[in-house]
Amino acid sequence: MYQPSGEHRYRVVAWWTSGNCGLAKSESAPNAIHFTTPKEFGGLAGIWTPEELLLAALGGCFTTTLRTVAGTDKFDITDLEVEVNGTLRKSTCGYDFSAIVIRPKLRIACSNERERAFNLLRKAERLCLVFRAIDAPLRFEPKIEVIDAVFSV
């Protein structure tokens, strides 16, 4: 049985390869991630940017956190999609995220589970460690859709 300890360490190494491109590698994943500066700042199209990777980290963290709290609560999720949008604005020290919006869309099978689902979404918001680590204005806009099963005899 898995017993979490009080401390976990993660390590990623990033380096420039050429021009405006680089690689990031984690010890836990076999593939490196190619990245570039945003194309608005001279980067290449079609390659992840650090800004997009940050938003992906938020979406991924929220998704895994919700799956964990739902599993612990024995709550059945029909489907989950998490959209994360970020806005950069020029500031006195360069560019900052002026807003990050996280929009989880949770599909559940039964309408009488709506309040429980909403409470689990809020719990995942509070527990998501990447969400808590971001020092930017964050908005949380959850949406719950009920997919009532129709049975025919």
Whether residue 31 is found in the same domain as residue 9: yes
| % residues pLDDT > 70 (the chain) | 93
* Last residue of one domain, picked from the residues 14, 31, 48: 48
H, E, C per residue of 85-144: EEEEEEECCEEEEEEEEEEEEEEECCHHHHHHHHHHHHHHHHHCHHHHHCCCCEEECCEE
Whether residue 57 is found in the same domain as residue 109: yes
Whether residue 82 is found in the same domain as residue 102: yes
Whether residue 152 is found in the same domain as residue 79: yes
**Distance from C-alpha of 113 to C-alpha of 93, rounded to nearest angstrom:** 46
Whether residue 15 is found in the same domain as residue 68: no
Give the predicted TM-score (pTM) of the model. 0.88
pLDDT of residue 3: 58
Total of domains in the chain: 2
Tell me the residue range of the domain where 42 lies: 1-48
Whether residue 113 is found in the same domain as residue 143: yes
Can you tell me the mean pLDDT for 4-28? 91
pLDDT in tens, 61-114: 999 999 999 999 999 999 999 999 999 999 999 999 999 999 999 999 989 999
